């Protein structure tokens, strides 16, 4: 599917954390978990603050949320392929836990540091999304987070430069692109596929608009060859 000339916000989803699951369940997928993954679409304007949308929240504030992960965006272009691949025709916007579902953008067309105007707000791309085990738990597919990481259909995070109201169907207007060489797709490749290339890690690590946690991980790889174990993030409590 080709990208449209003018990207726009098709859907906005918000949701607060909740407790799910059953104590002492034999299947790990049925055990208790606390999650903000479930997001519902809204059809009105909503306030976008520095750390999240009004009415939205995260359960694990150590790894999610905050100023560098204020909003998770995902491409509409991916949904048809996921519906086919996972045999889930009912898969709808928000299924990947995203706040913004955007048409006309993918990981190959969005870059680290891109600044966009959406409604009254100004947002900036901070990092790719690194999927975690809760995505797998949501759809009861143990390797789903790994699939997302491997195929690069991860989505990306925005930091908020200017707070304001945003609403569905608003245009996503590019204001500035200081690092066209660092697409989300390229950053994903370096982080997850080219893990032995310390020179590439060093190059991306010094991008000043890349989120600090990514800078730190890549700098450790470049300087000392250290790569964090991704299994706890990808598998977590699902086994």
Q: In what order do the strands lie in the sheet with 156-162?
A: 40-42, 8-14, 100-103, 71-75, 156-162, 121-128, 115-118, 173-176
Interatomic CA distance for residues 126 and 109, integer angstroms: 14
User: What residue spans define the domains of the chain?
Assistant: 8-234
Interatomic CA distance for residues 23 and 27, integer angstroms: 11
> Residue 100 half-sphere exposure, CB side, CA atoms within 13 Å?
35
Rg (CA), the chain: 17
Judged on CB neighbours under 10 Å (0-12, 13-18, 19+), 22 is: exposed
The size of the chain, in residues, is 239
pLDDT at 64: 83
Whose tokens are 């509409």? That residue is: 76
Predicted model pTM: 0.96
Q: pLDDT tens digits for the chain (239 residues)?
A: 446 689 999 999 999 999 999 999 999 999 999 999 999 999 999 999 999 999 999 988 878 889 999 999 999 999 999 999 999 999 999 999 999 999 999 999 999 999 999 999 999 999 999 999 999 999 999 999 999 999 999 999 999 999 999 999 999 999 999 999 999 999 999 999 999 999 999 999 999 999 999 999 999 999 999 999 999 999 999 99
Fold of 8-234: M1 Pyruvate Kinase; Domain 3 (2.40.33)
């Amino acid at each position: 599917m080709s990208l449209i000339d003018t990207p726009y916000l098709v859907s906005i989803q918000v949701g607060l954390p909740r407790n799910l699951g059953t104590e002492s369940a034999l299947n790990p997928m049925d055990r208790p978990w606390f999650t903000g993954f479930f997001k519902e679409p809204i059809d009105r304007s909503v306030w976008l603050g520095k750390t999240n949308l009004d009415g939205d929240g995260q359960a694990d504030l150590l790894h999610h949320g905050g100023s560098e992960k204020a909003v998770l965006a995902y491409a509409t272009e991916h949904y048809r392929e996921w519906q086919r691949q996972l045999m889930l025709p009912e898969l709808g916007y928000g299924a990947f836990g995203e706040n913004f579902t955007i048409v006309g953008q993918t990981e190959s067309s969005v870059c680290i540091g891109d600044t966009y105007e959406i409604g009254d707000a100004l947002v900036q791309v901070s990092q790719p999304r690194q999927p975690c085990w809760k995505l797998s738990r949501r759809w009861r597919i143990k390797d789903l987070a790994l699939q997302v990481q491997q195929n690069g259909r991860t989505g990306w995070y925005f930091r908020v430069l200017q707070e304001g109201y945003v609403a569905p169907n608003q245009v996503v207007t590019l204001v500035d692109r200081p690092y066209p060489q660092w697409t989300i797709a390229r950053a994903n490749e370096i982080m997850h596929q080219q893990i032995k290339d310390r020179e590439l890690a060093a190059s991306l690590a010094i991008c000043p608009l890349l989120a600090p946690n990514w800078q730190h991980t890549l700098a450790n790889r470049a300087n000392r060859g250290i790569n964090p174990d991704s299994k706890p993030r990808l598998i977590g409590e699902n086994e």
